[in-house]
Amino acid sequence: MKAAVLYNYNEDLLIEDVPIGDPGDREVLVRIIATGVCHSDLSALKGKSRPPLPIILGHEAAGIVEKTGSAVSKVRKGDHVILSWAPNCGECFYCQKRLPTMCDTYGAAAGNGTLWNGARRLGTVERPIHHFTCLSSFAELAVVPESGCSKIEKDIPFEVAALVGCAVTTGFGAVVNDARVEPGEVVGVIGVGGVGINAIHAAHLAGAKAVAAIDINPEKETVARSFGATHFFNSATRDVPAEIRALSRGRGADSVIDCTGRPAAIALAYDTARPGGSVISVGIAAKGEMVCFQASTLPNTQKRIIGSNYGGGMPEHDFERILALYRAGRFDLDRQIGERVALDEINDAFRWLEQGVLARTLVCFEQ
């Protein structure tokens, strides 16, 4: 199959022919139709998250089931599927605790660049290629765990389904599952990017009275408002906590969602939340970075700081909810699709992402 392989950090991906093995018992071979280029791919390419090399990146994808392993019952050949980058074993401590995205089994596999049980289906024995988040969708085909496949209706466009596989669910779930935004609330969203747009949109749909988009790039205001932001504050030039207090009878935001992962932004979220309000930390900081806030204020204000992974950690459930809202014409996913490119143009997609182009570039394959 044709695949985009990363051999060295900070270099272009190489498009080449890569052997792919048959799916194991509880694995599925999926023909990728659409796959988005996301910030986590960029962090891997830049060496920030330091995945093992060589590796095939890509973790926001949808496709068609081509072949199933002997013990697979969840999907069958011809099914259309969204692929999850956090498959789970269903049996470990965290799976039993209903925290499937914390699954020990797949956490270890993703760290080692393999599938479950250390299996590898990419490359050859002499020249193995690593899997990325048990997915590796920058390729014509992918072998993934059965639990990472979610069947969808065939009328859902693959580009839409791909986006739901990462950025959309991450932003939507942060609002719905972690912030639990209620009608009439005041919500802040820091970082108007692929995830932030979905947090803004979800907060608007949840009936928030005010949705304040916060970013250092004033050019993001128009798009933020088009997805439901009622206010836009440039945190480089405005006193955001004071602005939000002015919107909330002096109290502060009911919840603030940080999608940037910048320590200063997380501290800003903390200062902006009202007493008893919550800070939802979604964006991922570079390793080793620390956040500072005045410790005595934490018990006194009863603020809550909540880490949010894959939108609260039950992605498969959220895929269904988001697609139901999309089908009802309430959640706008079509407008989030940017350029469609072929696999050999993927390095351009990374450059656009780095330049801050907001609409998602999707690598698309012939159906």
Q: Which residues of the chain form contacts with Zn ion (CB under 5 A)? A: 38, 40, 60, 88-89, 92, 95, 103, 105, 166
- Minimum gap (Å) between residue 98 Cβ and Zn ion: 11
Q: Which is nearer to Zn ion, 92 or 164 (CB)?
A: 92
Residue type for position 83: L
What are the distances in angstroms from CA 165 to CA 82, 197, 293, 346? 6, 15, 34, 19
Please give the angle made by the CA atoms of 164, 93 and 163, to the nearest 5 degrees: 5
Q: Which is nearer to Zn ion, 88 or 177 (CB)?
A: 88
In the numeric block, which tokens belong to residue 121?
Answer: 């289906």
- Minimum gap (Å) between residue 60 Cβ and Zn ion: 5
Q: 120-153: buried (b, 16+ CB within 10 Å) or exposed (e) per residue?
A: bbbbeeeeebbbbbbbbbbbbbbbbbbbbbbebe
Residue 68, SS3? strand
Residue type for position 110: A
Q: Which is nearer to Zn ion, 193 or 252 (CB)?
A: 193
- Minimum gap (Å) between residue 99 Cβ and Zn ion: 9
Q: Which is nearer to Zn ion, 231 or 262 (CB)?
A: 262
- Minimum gap (Å) between residue 165 Cβ and Zn ion: 8
- Minimum gap (Å) between residue 252 Cβ and Zn ion: 30
- DSSP class of 6: B
Q: Which is nearer to Zn ion, 171 or 228 (CB)?
A: 171
Please give the angle made by the CA atoms of 5, 11 and 12, to the nearest 5 degrees: 55
- Minimum gap (Å) between residue 100 Cβ and Zn ion: 7
The CA distance from 98 to 101, in Å, is 9
Is residue 200 within 8 A of residue 228, CB to CB? The reply is yes
Q: Which is nearer to Zn ion, 167 or 269 (CB)?
A: 167
Q: 54-70: buried (b, 16+ CB within 10 Å) or exposed (e) per residue?
A: bbbbbbbbbbbbbbbbe
Question: Quick one: which H or E segment has residue 193?
Answer: none
Q: Which is nearer to Zn ion, 24 or 58 (CB)?
A: 58
- Minimum gap (Å) between residue 361 Cβ and Zn ion: 13
In the beta sheet, which residues pair with residue 340? Answer: 362
Residue 286 φ/ψ region, left for φ over 0, alpha for ψ in the -120 to 50 degree band, beta for the rest:
beta
- Minimum gap (Å) between residue 303 Cβ and Zn ion: 28
Kindly report the length of the chain: 367
Is residue 270 within 8 A of residue 305, CB to CB? The reply is yes
Q: Which is nearer to Zn ion, 221 or 339 (CB)?
A: 339
